[in-house]
Amino acid sequence: MTVAASPSPGAPLVDANSHHRGFLRRYIFSTDHKVIGLQFYFSTLIWFFVGGALALAVRWQLAWPWSEMPIVGRMLFAAEGGQISPEFYTMLVTMHATIMIFFVIIPILAGAFGNFLIPLMIGAEDMAFPTLNMFSYWFMWPAFACMTASFFVAGGAASAGWTSYPPLSVLHDAAPGSGPGQTLWLLGVVFIGIASMLGSLNYLTTIIQMRAPGMTMLRLPMTIWGLFITAILQAFALPVLTAASVMQLTDRLLGTGFYLSEAGGQPLLWQHLFWFYSHPAVYIMILPAMGMVSDIISCYARKPLFGYRPMVAAIIAIAGLGFIVWGHHMFMSGMNPAMGTTFMAATILIALPSAVKVFNWLGTLWGGRIEFTSAMLNALAFVSMFIIGGLSGIFMAATTVDIVIHDTYFIVGHLHYVLFGGSTFAVFAGTYHWFPKMFGRQMNEFWGKVHFLLTFLFFNGTFFTMHIIGMGGYPRRVAAATAYAEFARFEPLNVFMTICALGMGFTQLIFAANLFGSLIWGRRADRNPWRANTLEWTAPSPPPHGNFDFQPVAYRGPYEYSSPEVTADFYPQNQPPDAEPATAAAH
């Protein structure tokens, strides 16, 4: 394709050349997409550790029910001999999931990596609406504030599960956290909804309108495709959750009865609306990760992505099917079982595009020249763990089998294989990969590998075991299964899982130390330390406000590694066909 010569029809960009701004405008209320991306990154990192700590407390209780928790037990429950209280346990479960989903995985993928990478990868100066972009970050803060405050109100934070099923979440006296904590939870969700909606509209406009000349849709890196489809999912599914949350708020505060059967409402209505959003949200939490992993694997295998078009088609198919499968969370909910059959068929169909993706990643590796960097190892872990997470999903998609594993630890294992084994490993991979671009320094590879190896082992120790106790029928969200004779036999496994979880938790401190240490002491990085093809590597490291010091033009797709046309093993997107490679872009 020839480079479009027409002048930019877009509205004049923001005053991108505002280089003399005060500290506040540059780092706090910045409109620069990179600064906003990093703001998202560090905010979510803090919440990652908060959510992780909650998870460790959950695990402690499961392994040694009602025993004294070390350190915190004495602080929080001194009068009761340091043992956790049952309502505190339900709160832990609820808030761990809420924080990890709404404050960590979604904002770190869409908010942090999305913001940082979209303009750089498509060759734009900034987002289409930089000020709006700033607001999309700052609308997270009321949500942060609500959730933080909810820990300190009477009754504690929400404890009706992250799914917030009514009537438990609506009736004020049904659960301790169904007081102000639940109201704050809902307000937080509404604010996250606004933030995500603003962000996703911005992403969509930017990706549609602001691609560099020559950057056709089918030359976009998979990361951008993942983020693009994610933004569509967010834009169309999130309003439904917002509407549902508004109704739950009015149920709680104004006295309506949408979800209360005694007032003529329907408890299942919330489940339908909630999962209409939250099932696509599952893909919101994995599609950007899939995109990033595709880019990273192709780069370190020094080989083009196997089947680019099928990969794009698979992402679109997953997203499209994602809208019509929400009912598979509700097979046991009392929904008409005949509808369950329909939802099952659609759900099982989703395994097909997921399988295509896995085959293509393997195809990319086969015949490559693999470089075992920390980023690559984490990306490979994503593939390996996503296989398990995807295959275990087939069990619960099958309605009949779901009868025995629904609401058991099998589900908990499955979802952690997708969300931790999938998304979080992709976040690690993305961090190691784009860190040089973000900060102009390299992360420490040795500690990166140590962190990877320990996380990988402890992760599997923790979550693979959950499938076993799930098969045994061990129910989830139960503070102690000691009331049941059937589940006593799993106690040693619970102890094992907790030990692994604690190990995994402390391993993340290595990551934090490596991240902050490398910020200060990391080796300086040049523009393209990984010899990658995509446009962000042609900008300075870190890129200035305005990103590029030349007009980026895309001449080819993003995956021309080891191309026979050039002698170097990479062929940057912006390198004109006639120029001699390797030196033009990376200097």
- Contacts of another protein in 345-364 (CB under 8 A): 345, 348-349, 351-352, 355-356, 358-360, 362-363
Considering the rule CB under 8 A, would residue 395 count as an interface residue with another protein?
Answer: yes
Q: With respect to another protein, which residue has the nearer C-beta, 168 or 192?
A: 168
* Structural contact between residues 162 and 94, judged by C-beta atoms closer than 8 angstroms: yes
- Supply the minimum distance, in Å, between the C-beta of residue 213 and another protein: 5
Tokens 């595009």 belong to 353
CA dist 104 and 42 (Å) reads 10
Six-digit token pair at 443? 């992360």
Per CB under 8 A, which of residues 249..308 are in contact with another protein?
A: 250, 254-258, 260-269, 271-273, 276, 300-308
- Supply the minimum distance, in Å, between the C-beta of residue 108 and another protein: 20
Per CB under 8 A, which of residues 396..425 are in contact with another protein?
A: 398-401, 403-404, 406-408
Among 53, 153, 310, 316, binds another protein (CB under 8 A): 310
Burial of 154-170, coded b for 16+ CB within 10 Å and e otherwise, reads: ebbbbbbbbbbbbbbbb
Among 8, 523, 580, 584, binds another protein (CB under 8 A): 8
Grouping H, G, I as helix, E, B as strand and the rest as coil, residue 83 is strand
Q: With respect to another protein, which residue has the nearer C-beta, 216 or 583?
A: 216
Burial class (CB within 10 angstroms; exposed 0-12, middle 13-18, buried 19+) of 199:
buried
- Supply the minimum distance, in Å, between the C-beta of residue 285 and another protein: 19
Considering the rule CB under 8 A, would residue 78 count as an interface residue with another protein?
Answer: yes
Contact string (CB under 8 A) for another protein, positions 25-64, x = contact: -x-------xx---------------------------xx
Q: With respect to another protein, which residue has the nearer C-beta, 68 or 148?
A: 68
Considering the rule CB under 8 A, would residue 116 count as an interface residue with another protein?
Answer: no
Contact string (CB under 8 A) for another protein, positions 225-254, x = contact: ----------xxxxxx-xxx-xx--x---x
Per CB under 8 A, which of residues 564..583 are in contact with another protein?
A: 564, 569
What single DSSP character describes residue 69?
A: P
Q: With respect to another protein, which residue has the nearer C-beta, 176 or 422?
A: 176
What single DSSP character describes residue 334?
A: T
Nearest CA-CA partner of 535 in 495, 571, 496: 571
Per CB under 8 A, which of residues 130..159 are in contact with another protein?
A: 154-155, 159
- Supply the minimum distance, in Å, between the C-beta of residue 380 and another protein: 6
CA 214-528-522 angle, to 5 degrees, is: 145
- Supply the minimum distance, in Å, between the C-beta of residue 5 and another protein: 8
Per CB under 8 A, which of residues 189..228 are in contact with another protein?
A: 197, 201-202, 204-205, 208-217
Among 22, 485, 520, 577, binds another protein (CB under 8 A): 485
CA atoms 183, 186, 192, 198: torsion sign = negative
CA distances from residue 331 to 122, 304, 399, 402, 407 in whole angstroms, order as listed: 42, 41, 7, 8, 11
Q: With respect to another protein, which residue has the nearer C-beta, 265 or 581?
A: 265
H or E stretch at 53: helix 33-63
Among 144, 450, 472, 519, binds another protein (CB under 8 A): 472
- Supply the minimum distance, in Å, between the C-beta of residue 295 and another protein: 15
- Supply the minimum distance, in Å, between the C-beta of residue 45 and another protein: 18
How many Cβ atoms sit within 10 Å of the Cβ of residue 246?
15
- Supply the minimum distance, in Å, between the C-beta of residue 340 and another protein: 7
Considering the rule CB under 8 A, would residue 342 count as an interface residue with another protein?
Answer: no
CA dist 487 and 21 (Å) reads 62
Per CB under 8 A, which of residues 510..539 are in contact with another protein?
A: none
How many Cβ atoms sit within 10 Å of the Cβ of residue 358?
17
- Supply the minimum distance, in Å, between the C-beta of residue 335 and another protein: 6
- Supply the minimum distance, in Å, between the C-beta of residue 168 and another protein: 4
CA dist 465 and 499 (Å) reads 12
Residue 567 phi/psi, 5-degree rounding, is -80, -35
Grouping H, G, I as helix, E, B as strand and the rest as coil, residue 564 is coil
Residue 441 phi/psi, 5-degree rounding, is -135, 160
Considering the rule CB under 8 A, would residue 11 count as an interface residue with another protein?
Answer: yes
Strand partners, 475: 408
**If you compute the radius of gyration of the chain from its CA atoms, what whole number of angstroms results?**
24
H or E stretch at 299: helix 287-300
